[in-house]
Structure 1
Amino acid sequence: MARTSAYTVRVTGLRELQKNVRRLRSRDLNNSVRAANKAAAEVVKPEAESTAPKGRRDAKSSKRYKPGKLAKSVKVTASAKGAAVKAGTAARVPYAAAIHFGYPRRHIRPNRFLYRALARKGAEISETYEREISAVVRQHLEGD
């Protein structure tokens, strides 16, 4: 079951911008907004990678277990509507949700490293997003 983040960055006027972008139907403008969203989300990625639990190999560990896979799996996805920072995949790191949200039956306490990274970088995300969106507006909508 997917859980929504307790930490989000809200941008005033974003819905109106998205509506205008869709109305204009400009592929370049759409790609520019997507790039701005991705640039803002990329700010969180290094912090999330560095704070992700690395784990350790012990005698009972599987031979296939490699410490640090969770940190390496942190990815940024973006669209014209928004961006997300995700960790883990069903095939390569299926335990990512159990680590992040906890698994009481297995006595795994939650380690919300993605939320903490977002909270720490909130101001920087806002500055980056404002700068990038202002550049998109100047380039595409004001005609400069």
Structure 2
Amino acid sequence: MARSSAFTVRVKGMTELQRNIRKLKSRELSASVRAANKSAAEVMKPEAESTAPKGRRDAKSSRRYRPGKLAKSVGVTASAKGAAVKAGSAARVPYAAAIHFGYPKRGIRPNRFLYRAMARKSDAVSETYEREISAVVRQHLEGD
């Protein structure tokens, strides 16, 4: 049930920057770009956690169901190529995709809390990313 994101931030010149990073073969530069990607994605994480459905436990709930597990599972992954904010895991929160994208056969309507969080925080993410990448370029490529 994996689907790609409806929100993507495209950065002009990012492909060239990635190519140059690979050519330079600098682990320090690559780590700095990864950190910049991660810090930009971290801006969205609190919003996603706060808007994630908390649910409630009732008499018919499974023993494994614990309200709030979906919100606690929101995390950020980053690499030199980009970053992603994800929720759920196959082992701990297997129902995350069904909650986010819906499951019509089970009567579960979609609750796209990750998309809404990105829509609300897209300006802050862009500003943070621009600031962080500019600092990396100044530090590593301009020789400051």
The aligned amino acid for 1:65 is Y
Distance 1:118 1:44 in 2: 6
Distance 2:59 2:2 in 1: 33
Is residue 2:50 matched to residue 1:50?
Answer: yes
Distance 1:135 1:95 in 2: 39
Q: Which residue of 2 aligns with 1:141?
A: 141
Q: Which residue of 1 aligns with 2:126?
A: 126
Q: Which residue of 1 aligns with 2:31?
A: 31
Using the size of structure 1 for normalisation, the TM-score is 0.98
User: Aligned to 2:55, what secondary structure does the other structure show?
Assistant: coil
Unaligned residue ranges in structure 1 (runs of 5+): none
Distance 2:97 2:65 in 1: 17
Note the 1:97-108 alignment, pairs <5 A. 97-108=97-108
The RMSD of aligned alpha carbons is 0.7
Distance 1:124 1:60 in 2: 41
Q: Which residue of 2 aligns with 1:78?
A: 78
Hey, which bits of structure 1, 4+ residues long, moved more than 2 A? none
8 Å contact kept, 2:2–2:97 = no
The aligned amino acid for 1:82 is G
TM-superposed CA distance for 1:7, in Å, is 1.2
8 Å contact kept, 2:76–2:86 = yes
The aligned amino acid for 1:94 is P
TM-superposed CA distance for 1:63, in Å, is 2.5
Deviates more, 1:4-13 or 1:24-33: 4-13
User: Aligned to 2:3, what secondary structure does the other structure show?
Assistant: coil
Number of aligned residue pairs: 144
Distance 1:28 1:70 in 2: 34
Residue by residue over 1:47-90, the C-alpha shift from the partner in whole angstroms, topping out at 9 and shown as x without a partner, is 00000000000011122321000000000000000000000000
User: Aligned to 2:84, what secondary structure does the other structure show?
Assistant: strand
Residue by residue over 1:119-144, the C-alpha shift from the partner in whole angstroms, topping out at 9 and shown as x without a partner, is 10000000000000000000000010
The alignment-based identity, stated in percent, is 83
Using the size of structure 2 for normalisation, the TM-score is 0.98
Q: Which residue of 2 aligns with 1:40?
A: 40
Unaligned residue ranges in structure 2 (runs of 5+): none
